[in-house]
Amino acid sequence: MAMEMNKLTGEIIGAAIEVHKQLGPGMLESAYEECLSYELSVRGLSIVRQKPVPVVYKEVKLECGYRIDILVNDAVVLELKSVDVLAPIHEAQILTYMRFAKRRIGLLINFNVTVLKNGIKRYVM
Q: What is the pLDDT of residues 66-115, one digit of tens each?
A: 899 999 999 999 999 999 999 999 999 999 999 999 999 999 999 999 99
- Residue 122: exposure state from Cβ atoms within 10 A (0-12, 13-18, ≥19): middle
pTM of the model: 0.93
Helix (H) or strand (E) holding 1: none
Q: Which residues contact 45 (CB under 8 A, 6 or more apart)?
A: 8, 11, 12, 15, 72, 73
For the chain, the domain total comes to 1
Domain residue limits at 7: 2-124
CB of 20 closer than 8 Å to CB of 111: yes
Q: Which residues contact 10 (CB under 8 A, 6 or more apart)?
A: none
